[in-house]
Amino acid sequence: MSHQQMAELLFPDVAQVPEDIFSLYPARELPPEARVTRFAPSPTGALNIGGLYATLISERLAHQSNGVFYLRIEDTDKKREVPGGVENILQSLVYFGVQWDEGPFLSGEDVGSYGPYKQSLRDGIYRVFLKHLIREGLAYPCFCNDEDLNQIRQSQQNSKATPGYYGEWAKHRGITFEQTQEEIALGKPFVIRLRSSGSPNKKVIHYDLVKGRIAFPENDQDIVIMKTNGLPTYHFAHAIDDRLMGTTHVIRADEWLSSLPIHIQLFELLGFPLPKYGHIAPIMKLEGTSKRKFSKRKDLDGTAEYYKTQGYPGFALGEYFMNLINSGFEEWRTVNPQKAYHEYLISTDKMNSSGALLDMNKLNDTSKEVISRLTCEDVYELLYKWSKEFDSELFETLQKDKEYTLKILSIGRNSAKPRKDYAKWSEIKPMIAYFYDGWFEEDASSGYLHLDSIRMDQAQTIIQRYSDLFSLECGREVWFSEIQSLAADLGYAKDMKQYKANPEQYKGHVGDIAMVIRVALTNRNQTPDLYDLMKVMGNQRIVERMRRFMAQNS
């Protein structure tokens, strides 16, 4: 009876009981093997790369089993919340191609029947369960202020006892209804604590999806489940929400592993079935030859935003993460080069339990591979979208010269072995800038590349002669034989073999001639195939560039 009175005293406004809430959150109608997973970020800063990794695992586990993946915003810590935090996280997830079925969307809509999906909008629900625990004698109000807590800590230190609020040290464990009434009448703030029945001498055994079997001492701390502002703590909200939203598998960072005994206890006291948990180690960064954790403060590349700004396609990062999640992915990819990575089935028991390494070189290789499989139209669209946000100059050019750009991007793309040249969108402009007259002019105005092997007076002659004879219309063979004849005319070997047999007889070889042409046209000594490049540039531009070269070097 006194528990009942206490519950009414503390939560007079709460009329509902847990059954009322359960009826609003019926069990999901899903096939038995379907998994329900979630990503539950706190909007306290940028989405970090570890969060993205964990999210991808959760999303895959749900969708590969025809289940549901949802987002829940854990925003009960209002002090740590950053403005625009939720939108930022959602934008990053969209960029990286993570699709969620329920939760907040960028449109501002909350989708799904298990919401609201923001914890700050669920406090009415938490209060029903808080009242229930008080009514059952499983929780109690604690009026300790900082001073009281310090005193407890001090006494524990003096008597070398384990610190914390538990057992005989828990000052308000035995608080009566009358005492509570008095404290409330004085307007004293209070928290609600769980009345722990655990003992550190007993063990909880947990089978983690990633870490395997773990034995912990039971939780004996009377942890806070409601803060003085009436909002639940993370632990409590986690239990309520994951139960009501029907989560079957919780994949989260292993920093939460030490809280697991609390969570197991909470689910038990509340009479909820425990979801399966998989705790993943943080992604590691390679520094020199050693691995370390990403630092929130100094590692820009620890945020998802960094990869977006750099222009790694979202699906390239997804593809790379698949390699990190399960090493079997690589073999699958070799056998299935054309399939979307979503078709690969991940499994938690094959996951790296000690911290996967993010290796930039491998990420670049994966990204090059993935981009090489795209059509030039897709590359154009994605580059266009990216530049809109990150490179306005490039954006304008892409808008103005779409057809020309498509041709540039198609070089080396439509073959069985496409060029693997771009790892990220930010790399493309510097690599193709010379195709565009404005950027070429900017570059060449400070002079042409110096060619050691050829004297400039010869370069003049080569370009002069070549500008009169070149033709692109009759195909690659004719085009090349013209360069060869020009080489022979000017005292250069027609091919390498000829040159190597008698180098002293020649000024150089046909490759030197091609190099002079390349420099005149692009001011680069490395470009894609010269014939392809000239076809894209077109006669008029080629003639102008050769003229310019001769004028500058005369």
Taking the C-alpha atoms of residue 429 and residue 178, their distance in angstroms, rounded to an integer, is: 74
3-class SS string, 260-299: HHHHHHHHHHHCCCCCEEEEECCCEEEECCEEEECCCCCC
Closer residue to ligand GLU, CB minimum distance, 184 or 253: 253
Closer residue to ligand GLU, CB minimum distance, 134 or 250: 250
**Residue with the two structure tokens 């000052």:** 171
Find the shortest distance in angstroms from Cβ 548 to ligand GLU: 58
Find the shortest distance in angstroms from Cβ 248 to ligand GLU: 14
User: Which tokens in the block code for residue 79?
Assistant: 């002090």
Start-to-end CA span in the chain (Å): 104
Taking the C-alpha atoms of residue 409 and residue 428, their distance in angstroms, rounded to an integer, is: 9
**3, 139 contact by CB (below 8 A):** no
Closer residue to ligand GLU, CB minimum distance, 280 or 383: 280
Closer residue to ligand GLU, CB minimum distance, 41 or 85: 41
Task: Please name the amino acid found at residue 499.
Answer: Y
Closer residue to ligand GLU, CB minimum distance, 74 or 369: 74
Find the shortest distance in angstroms from Cβ 58 to ligand GLU: 9
SS3 227: coil
SS3 111: strand
User: Which tokens in the block code for residue 201?
Assistant: 């001498």
**Residue with the two structure tokens 């009415």:** 124
Q: How far is CA 449 from CA 55, 427, 464, in A?
A: 48, 21, 18
Find the shortest distance in angstroms from Cβ 98 to ligand GLU: 15
Length of the chain: 554
Task: Please name the amino acid found at residue 549.
Answer: F
Closer residue to ligand GLU, CB minimum distance, 305 or 512: 305
DSSP 313-359: -HHHHHHHHHHHH-THHHHHHHH-TTS-GGGSPP-GGGS-TT--EE-
Q: Which residues bind ligand GLU (CB under 6 A)?
A: 40-42, 74, 238, 250, 252, 256
Closer residue to ligand GLU, CB minimum distance, 252 or 494: 252
* CB contact burial 33-57 (16+ within 10 A = b; e otherwise): eebbbbbbbbbeebbbbbbbbbbbb
**75, 37 contact by CB (below 8 A):** no
Closer residue to ligand GLU, CB minimum distance, 42 or 405: 42
ω into residue 116 within 30 of 0, thus cis? yes
Closer residue to ligand GLU, CB minimum distance, 250 or 379: 250
Q: How far is CA 232 from CA 29, 191, 242, 443, in A?
A: 29, 9, 14, 61
For strands 290-293 and 284-287, give the pairing: antiparallel
Closer residue to ligand GLU, CB minimum distance, 76 or 484: 76
Task: Please name the amino acid found at residue 170.
Answer: A
Find the shortest distance in angstroms from Cβ 74 to ligand GLU: 4
Find the shortest distance in angstroms from Cβ 70 to ligand GLU: 12
- Give 216's contacts (C-beta < 8 A, 6+ positions apart): 203, 204, 206, 260, 261
Closer residue to ligand GLU, CB minimum distance, 239 or 534: 239
Closer residue to ligand GLU, CB minimum distance, 122 or 494: 122
Find the shortest distance in angstroms from Cβ 85 to ligand GLU: 11
Nearest CA among 470, 446, 441, 453 for reference residue 506? 453
Residue 424 gets which letter from DSSP?
S
Find the shortest distance in angstroms from Cβ 330 to ligand GLU: 28
Find the shortest distance in angstroms from Cβ 75 to ligand GLU: 9
Find the shortest distance in angstroms from Cβ 389 to ligand GLU: 26
Q: What is the dihedral of CA 40, 41, 43, 47, to 10 degrees?
A: -150
Find the shortest distance in angstroms from Cβ 126 to ligand GLU: 15
Taking the C-alpha atoms of residue 435 and residue 522, their distance in angstroms, rounded to an integer, is: 7
**Structural Rg of the chain based on CA atoms:** 33
Find the shortest distance in angstroms from Cβ 542 to ligand GLU: 58
